Amino acid sequence: MFKSFFQEKIKGAKTLFLLKQNDLIYLPEKEEEVVTDKSSPFYAQFWNDKMARSKNIYSVVKYSGNEIYFIRHNIAQMIENKLEFGSQNCYQKINGVSIKDYCIKITADRLGNIFPV
């Protein structure tokens, strides 16, 4: 229902995925090639490297207009309000790169296995 609403609103647009609060996303490094094709022989090798992947996992925190804010998945609470991560206590950009433009929606099971959606 939501997908069709947004596709009708912006003609020619294709919705890849929708994000809601607490969804997990993966933000690739600048020159990193992400393997999302399940039939690729490198798929399991790429996503099973939990230590390397966990450095770039963020959680959706909140929305404001057309902006979306993220926080690293391993941060529980800010030590000093509005000092560590800016006025919103979260990130929109990292190293000048907009997270929402380059993120990949992922899911994680209880064992910590990470998979793209």
pLDDT higher than threshold 60 for residue 29: yes
List the domain range (segments joined by +) for residue 95.
17-116
Residue 28 falls within a domain, yes or no? yes
Residue 2 falls within a domain, yes or no? no
Residue 58 falls within a domain, yes or no? yes
- pTM summary value: 0.81
Residue 38 falls within a domain, yes or no? yes
Here the tokens at position 39 are 């039939």
Determine the average pLDDT of the residues in 25-31.
Answer: 91
Residue 9 falls within a domain, yes or no? no
Per DSSP, the chain holds a count of helices (H) and strands (E) of: 4, 7
Number of domains within the chain: 1
Mean residue pLDDT across the chain: 84
